[in-house]
Amino acid sequence: MDLELEGRTAIVTGGTKGIGLAISRALAAEGVRVVAAARTAPTESGEAITPVAVDLSTPDGGTELVRRATAELGEIDILVNNLGGVRSSVAHSERFADIDDAAWQRTIELNLFSAVRVTRAALPSLIRRRGVIVNISSIGARFAHPPVEYGAAKAALNNVSKALAEELGPDGVRVVTVSPGPTRTRNWEDPDGMGGDLAREAGTDLATFLAELPDRMGITTGRLTDPAETAALVAFLASPRAGNITGTDYLVDGGVLKTV
C-alpha cells in the first residue's frame, strides 16, 4: 500500500534507537525526510534521516529542536513524540512512599513535558501544513504497575493528546497516541535496563526472565512486540490513508490489556 507520504517531513524525538529508530526508518522508507532527535549524536544518518543532538528534558530543548528541524527540512508535516523511558532500579516491590520528588520530576520532564514543549514549538508549522501528531504512550497509562510515576506521566500524555485532537481538529491537525507493551528494545533486553532490574529482583537471569515474561504478563500472542511493528502502525497513522482518525489510542501490546 502506498501511504502517500513521499516528500513529507517529520520530527521523531528519541529517534535514534529502539522504537524511535524503527519509526525514523519506517517513515524514511516511505519517502519522508526525518529529523531524528536524541540527547547524544547518533552514528546512524542518511539521505532521508538527519540526526540532531538536543536535550529535550530542558526548558529550551523543544524550541531548539524545532528551530533546527525547520532550518533543515522547512515546514513540518509530522511530529512523533517518542522520547520517554523509566528510571533505573525499578522493582515490582517498590512502595509509592519511597519514590521521591526528584524521581517524579525527572520522569515527568522526560515523558510529558518534553512532548508538551516540542509540540508547542512545532504547532505553527503543523497547523500551516495541516499535519499529524503521534504521541508514543505506553500500556502503563492504563495498567496499574510499577513504576507508578511513569504510568502517571503517560496517562497525562494520553489526556493531553485527546484534548489537542479536539482543539486542533478544526485546524486540520490530527492527534493520536500509540501505546506499546513490552517491546524488544534495550529497555527490556539490556542487562542494565528495566528488564535486567526486574530479572535480578526475580532472582533469575535476563534470558530466562524474558522467556517467561509473556506468561507472567498474560501476553496473548506469546511474545514481545518487535519495534518495526509499532513503527508500521505509526507510519500508517501519520499518513493520509488514516485521514479521519484522530483522538484515539492504539495498543501494540500483544493482548496484555484485557479490558474492552
Three-state DSSP string of 130-180: CCEEEEECCHHHCCCCCCHHHHHHHHHHHHHHHHHHHHHHHHCCEEEEEEE
Look at 67-71, 113-117, 143-147 and tell me which has the smallest mean pLDDT: 143-147
Distances in whole angstroms, Cα of residue 65 to Cα of each of 32, 231, 251: 18, 22, 28
pLDDT tens-digit profile of 95-130? Answer: 999 999 999 999 999 999 999 999 999 999 999 999
250 belongs to the catalytic site: no
The domain spans of the chain are: 9-183+226-252
Q: From the candidates 113, 150, 209, 250, which is the catalytic residue? A: 150
Backbone angles phi, psi at 38, to 5 degrees: -155, 165
CB atoms under 10 Å from CB of 223, counted, come to 13
Q: How far is the C-alpha of 202 from the C-alpha of 166, rounded, in Å?
A: 44
Residue 248 has which C-alpha cell?
484515539
What is the pLDDT, as a whole number, of residue 65?
98
Integer Cα distance of 125 and 27 in angstroms:
19
pLDDT tens digits, 172-212? 999 999 999 999 998 889 898 888 888 898 999 999 999 99
- Number of alpha carbons in the 13 Å side-chain half-sphere of residue 200: 13
pTM passes above 0.75: yes
Query: CATH classification of 9-183+226-252, choosing from 3.20.20.70, 3.40.50.620, 3.40.50.2300, 3.40.50.720?
Result: 3.40.50.720
Query: CA-CA-CA-CA torsion for 18, 23, 110, 85, nearest 10 degrees?
Result: -30
